[in-house]
Amino acid sequence: MASDYSSTPITLNDVNPKVLKCKYAIRGEILTHAQILYYNIGNPDSLGQKPITFFREVLALCDHPLIVDRSETKSLFSADSVEQAIQILDQIPVRATGSYSHSQETISSIGVKGLRDKIASGIEALDGFPGDPNDIFLTDGASPAVHMMMQLLIGSENDGIPCPIPQYPLYSVSITLHRGTHISYYLDEESGWALEISEFENQLKTARSRGVNVRALVVINPGNPTGRVLAEANQREIVEFCRKEGLVLLADEVYQENVYAHDKQFHSFKNRSRSMGFGEKDISLVSFHSASKGYYGECGKRGGYMEFTGFRPEIREQIYKVASVNLCSNISGQILASLIMSPPKVGDESYKSFSAEKEAILSSLARRAKILEDAFNSLEGVTCYKAEGVLYSFPRINLPGKAIKAAEEAKTAPDAFYARHLLNATGIVVVPGSEFGQRPGTWHFRCTILPQEDKIPAIVSRLTQFHKQFMDEFRG
């Protein structure tokens, strides 16, 4: 018997219209019909990637501290993982991951002090410039940090924030939920998804002419879903642009470990700005990082942080207040975030095995990215630029007019029409490019490169066969 909700008080007419307006298709309509091959999101563990041994050993010991001092533990765990666990437990209240972190301190919400120390030291080692643990806010993945910044920056619908198109929809969704104005700037697909300063300038000028108060600029590097890794000169242009225009630079750097192009290297925006001679009082910069990506891919642990620099003390107090609403992020995630920034060093017992696991994962991801790039480029009407980084391919598909007309009749976007047919025919789930934003008249889809190497040939075969049949069916 069907449930009757006629007497319940809330209908769609009562729901916040900003919630109704939000779309997050990475887990949206196509996914609700999927039961087989989930190649829509970057979820390494679910697709067979083995966790990094050292990280899991430390987490296990911290979650069950009673075994740390047992003699048999030394035969099961490396000496440096035991040492790390002891150090971490000594910094956590009552030596338990189930307690609030520093719950009696006024800055309890930003995370365990000793873990923030480790992250700040790791940032300093990577960037070559000093890191301050008081600039680190530990969060349940990068997403809550993004939401906190939107809460801080958006006061009304008149406040706007430019985001790249295509873009990871977290940003447009968050801006919409917090009642701000989402401003799109387009990446240049013809040059491999380059980011042009002239596009910033045009969109900023247009927004301000409409009376929009542009508060910040979102940059995703390496790019999701495009895979583009920004060149050093391009980053310097962006830093100078934000400084000149008085914009907060929101730098999504969660894929910083995922760089596969031999001629590209990741540099943080903090490194770029400091190397240009700009200090704390010259530019406001927020850098987001996550334990869900990289070579570790620990999505379920929900570990992440933001580094919050270049803000007045009274503004810092406000972000502390916003963070305090959540009391603290989960302790296991905090621990993991500290570990990815302070992995085993040369001379540690775990160093060789850790380095081998890391290299094996990243090398395999690079090979998978190349295999899928070549496969997509071999398909009729499909163009796929090289994925220089991240965990995805983002091919462009030129659909036949008959397919576009059929999609219009079905009241769906043409790339969503293609994705639905792909799912029904093969069980393969991809995300339509229309859900990331794209230039009008172009169609794409995003596919993760995470399937294990031995499974990719079968995926390519199924995709190739489907694509030929689809094009034949809708041609002319």
pLDDT tens, residue by residue, 295-324 = 998 888 889 999 999 999 888 888 888 887
3-state secondary structure of 289: strand
- The pLDDT assigned to 37 comes to 56
Whether 65 is in a domain gets the answer: no
The Cα 170–Cα 394 span in angstroms is 17
**CA-wise closest residue to 391 among 190, 250, 256, 288:** 256
User: Domain check: are 323 and 377 in the same one?
Assistant: no
The owner of tokens 């993945």 is: 141
Question: Computed from CA positions of residues 309, 315, 319, 324, in that sequence, does the dihedral angle turn out positive or negative?
Answer: positive
Alpha carbon of residue 113 to chain centroid: 25
Whether 36 is in a domain gets the answer: yes
For residue 350, give both structure tokens: 């775990």
Partner residues linked to 38 by β-bridges: 429
User: Domain check: are 136 and 282 in the same one?
Assistant: yes
User: Domain check: are 148 and 248 in the same one?
Assistant: yes
User: Domain check: are 151 and 184 in the same one?
Assistant: yes
**CA-wise closest residue to 180 among 22, 12, 14:** 22
Whether 48 is in a domain gets the answer: no
Residues whose CB falls within 8 Å of the CB of residue 300, separated by 6 or more in sequence, listed in order: 45
By the 10 Å C-beta count (0-12 exposed, 13-18 middle, 19+ buried), 452 is classed as: exposed
The residue among 339, 366, 396 that closes a domain is: 339
Measure the CA dihedral 16/20/24/27, to 10°.
100
Whether 59 is in a domain gets the answer: no
**What CATH number did the domain enclosing 118 receive?**
3.40.640.10
User: Domain check: are 318 and 246 in the same one?
Assistant: yes
Residue type at 346?
V
For residue 277, give both structure tokens: 């001679």
Whether 437 is in a domain gets the answer: yes
- The pLDDT assigned to 105 comes to 38
User: Domain check: are 174 and 205 in the same one?
Assistant: yes
Beta strands, E only, 253-398:
285-290, 304-309, 382-383, 392-393, 396-397
User: Domain check: are 18 and 124 in the same one?
Assistant: no
Residues whose CB falls within 8 Å of the CB of residue 253, separated by 6 or more in sequence, listed in order: 221, 266, 268, 269, 287, 288, 289
The residue among 310, 339, 368 that closes a domain is: 339
3-state secondary structure of 202: helix
Alpha carbon of residue 110 to chain centroid: 20
The Cα 306–Cα 289 span in angstroms is 6
User: Domain check: are 249 and 289 in the same one?
Assistant: yes
Whether 77 is in a domain gets the answer: no
The residue among 339, 369, 403 that closes a domain is: 339
- The pLDDT assigned to 94 comes to 63
Whether 2 is in a domain gets the answer: no
Whether 55 is in a domain gets the answer: no
User: Domain check: are 399 and 308 in the same one?
Assistant: no
User: Domain check: are 359 and 335 in the same one?
Assistant: no
pLDDT in tens, the chain (476 residues): 455 656 556 666 756 666 566 555 544 554 544 445 555 666 666 667 889 999 999 999 998 888 888 888 888 999 999 999 999 998 886 666 665 554 333 335 688 889 999 999 999 999 999 999 999 999 999 999 999 999 999 999 999 999 999 998 899 999 999 999 999 999 999 999 999 999 999 999 999 999 999 999 999 999 999 999 999 999 999 999 999 999 999 999 999 999 999 899 999 999 999 999 999 899 999 999 999 888 998 888 889 999 999 999 888 888 888 887 776 788 899 999 999 999 999 999 999 999 999 999 999 999 999 999 999 999 999 999 998 999 999 999 999 999 999 999 999 999 999 999 999 999 898 999 999 999 999 999 999 988 889 989 999 999 999 999 999 999 86
CA-based angle 226:231:235, to the nearest 5? Answer: 100
User: Domain check: are 333 and 371 in the same one?
Assistant: no
According to DSSP, residue 52 is labeled P
The Cα 159–Cα 204 span in angstroms is 12
For residue 236, give both structure tokens: 């310097």
> Domain of 183?
99-339
**What CATH number did the domain enclosing 459 receive?**
3.90.1150.10
**Number of independent structural domains in the chain:** 2
User: Domain check: are 237 and 213 in the same one?
Assistant: yes
CA-based angle 326:25:430, to the nearest 5? Answer: 125
